[in-house]
Amino acid sequence: MIKTFAKYYKPYKKLFTLDLIAAFLVSACDLIYPMMTRVIVDDVQGRNLRTLYVFGGTLIVIYIIKAGLNYFLQYWGHVVGVRMQADMRRDLFKHLQVLPNKYFDNNKTGVIMSRIINDLMEVSELAHHGPEDLFISLVMLIGSFIILCTINVPLTIIVFAFIPVLLWFTSIKRLKMKKAFMETRVKTGEVNAALENSISGVRVTKAFTNTEHELEKFHKHNNLFKEAREYAYKAMAEFSSGMGFFMDILDLVVLVAAGYFVYKGKITLGDFTAYLLYIRMFLQPVKRLISFTEQYQSGMTGFQRFMEIMNEKPENEKDNAVELKDIKGEININNVSFGYDNKEHILNGLDLHVKEGKMVALVGPSGGGKTTLCNLLPRFYEIENGDILIDGQSIYDVTLESLRKNIGIVQQDVFLFTGTIRDNILYGNPDATDEEIEEAAKSASIHDFILGLEDGYDTYIGERGVKLSGGQKQRISIARVFLKNPPILILDEATSALDNATEYLIQKSLEKLCTGRTTLVVAHRLSTIKNADEIIVLTDNGVEERGSHKKLLNTGGIYSELYNSQFKDKEAS
């Protein structure tokens, strides 16, 4: 995992190298001050003021240089971290685009968002401060050790004998902190998921007057998050207070031991002063290492969660997959079996042949596999057995992009992106002209409505199209597929949210669009499929009936019962 983390430094290795050089120079500046103090104290005792003036002026210059170096570290060092974070977020979002639908079925949107935003924030801080703090600490420790040895070796050995104790304490508390930070990340994701779900459904909450219920749910997740954070801070407090105690003891040991050495005449007063200052500097890298340990646990926990998603297997595509092009639209479904999450099969050994350019309607009771079949054609899910072919070519031998580019879908659950009407229609073909957008809207019987709006096609529709009615959203989604103009169409309850008058207009438009194209229609309103070339009745047992509208009515089977139950009142009148 460290190796993977390190590769994100590669595009910024020059800037990162400059950052480390600046960190080294800052450390060198800090090491100079005690050396000068040692000389000044001894020389001033000998009545030599010239040394005081020269070294004082030198220190001013050093501090100015140090201020410039610290500015570079704070600004450009953070820039490296932010850019690395952006690269990770880009890679994560790109990877999410190729994950199978099953991943999104099993993972909450809020949790995924938390991993993209919250977790990577800490990774950015680690990317900047981690190597820098580690490098500065090593320079300061090694530098101070060498210089302290030049003053008095026995005293230095006494001081550095405490380092193994500090390392032992750090290793024990590190594991507890890792567990605490991971728990915090998980609970943060859960709170985000609950919040995203509650805000999205606030209108339903109000309609059912369930505010108290939502407050209880949020309170539960919020408490779990609070407890996780308290546990994390407890682990941090144990670590920090323990390290603080050890450093205070170290300070005391140095003061007593160095004072004793002065008393015995082993070191001068200047040596004693310099030694105390170097010990202060020795404590700085120790504190940096403490900070690094906390930051490392927090940042690498976030990176670990980042890698969990990155290690998820993307949608499967053969290395030698070919482009699907110039298709006529013949579909063959051969012995297909499928069940979600390897549970009970929804489709079991299904065989189906759809001739090119024909409209085939799928009807039947809920749970019969109609929508599932429509999801299998563009490979939103992988079948367990059998094969699906388009023009005699297996959809598993072609690229996913070319397959889906040739299939247009209008789903029952309409999803519109936050933005304008133009943005959402344009989603069908991002390269389309304004004229083509308007033509698609006319075909979907939504053009006149759009022109009646103050901002026309540039009207903002709110999150998920909240400012539009169900029928308006449905017509915009239909306009998208008009604009895409694919050879194969899947209409999954495409007119389910429309009133009778609008449904009639849309039906005429769909009939025009379906001409010469292969179309699969999932319909609950049987009035919309009377003119289908073939109607297939799907149940738990597979294909129960198939034929034209008239033929199936005369058969007196399942389709006839469904039709009569819908239209008996209308026909009676």
Query: Per-residue confidence of the chain (573 residues) as pLDDT tens digits?
Result: 778 888 888 888 888 888 888 888 887 777 776 666 666 666 655 556 666 677 678 778 888 888 888 888 888 888 888 888 889 888 988 888 888 888 888 888 777 887 888 778 778 778 777 787 777 777 777 877 787 777 778 877 877 777 777 767 776 776 677 777 777 767 777 777 777 777 766 666 666 667 787 788 778 877 877 777 787 778 777 777 777 787 777 777 777 877 877 777 777 777 777 777 766 666 667 667 766 776 777 778 788 888 888 998 988 888 898 998 888 889 999 999 888 876 777 888 888 899 998 889 898 887 788 888 888 999 988 888 899 999 999 999 999 989 989 998 887 778 888 889 999 899 888 889 999 999 999 888 889 899 998 899 999 988 778 888 877 888 888 888 888 889 999 988 776 656 677 677 667 777 777 777 898 988 877 777 888 889 988 888 888 888 888 888 888 888 888 888 776 645 444
DSSP three-state, residue 494: coil
Give me the residues paired with residue 490 across strands: 409, 520
Collect contacts of 89-92 with beta carbons under 8 A, ≥24 apart. 89/116, 89/120, 91/310, 92/116, 92/120, 92/306, 92/309, 92/310
318 located within any domain: no
366 shares a domain with 248: no
> Do the strands 385-390 and 393-394 form a parallel or antiparallel pair, or are they unpaired?
antiparallel
335 shares a domain with 304: no
185 located within any domain: yes
Give me the residues paired with residue 332 across strands: 353, 389
356 shares a domain with 303: no
Residue range of the domain that includes 46: 2-310
Structure-token pair, residue 175: 């594991």
Is residue 449 within 8 Å of residue 476, measured between CB atoms?
A: no
| CATH at 527 | 3.40.50.300
Question: From the CB of residue 283, how many other CB atoms can be counted at a distance below 10 Å?
Answer: 17
Q: Closest Cα to residue 362, out of 516, 492, 552?
A: 492
| CATH at 7 | 1.20.1560.10
268 shares a domain with 415: no
322 located within any domain: no
305 shares a domain with 342: no
Q: Token pair 């979907």 is at which residue?
A: 444
Is residue 190 within 8 Å of residue 111, measured between CB atoms?
A: yes
Per-residue buried b or exposed e for 460-481, using 16+ beta carbons within 10 Å of the residue's own CB: ebeeebeebeebbbbbbbbbbb
How many domains is the chain built from? 2
Task: Give the integer Cα–Cα distance in Å for 60 and 54.
Answer: 10
386 shares a domain with 448: yes
Spatial neighbors of 385 by CB under 8 A, at least 6 apart, are 335, 336, 337, 349
Task: Give the integer Cα–Cα distance in Å for 117 and 185.
Answer: 11
Spatial neighbors of 345 by CB under 8 A, at least 6 apart, are 337, 338, 339, 384
Task: Give the integer Cα–Cα distance in Å for 485 and 479.
Answer: 10
Spatial neighbors of 405 by CB under 8 A, at least 6 apart, are 324, 486
Task: Give the integer Cα–Cα distance in Å for 63 and 416.
Answer: 58
Structure-token pair, residue 132: 């820098």
129 shares a domain with 255: yes
Structure-token pair, residue 26: 């800052």
Structure-token pair, residue 510: 């769909």
Q: Closest Cα to residue 376, out of 106, 105, 100, 103?
A: 100
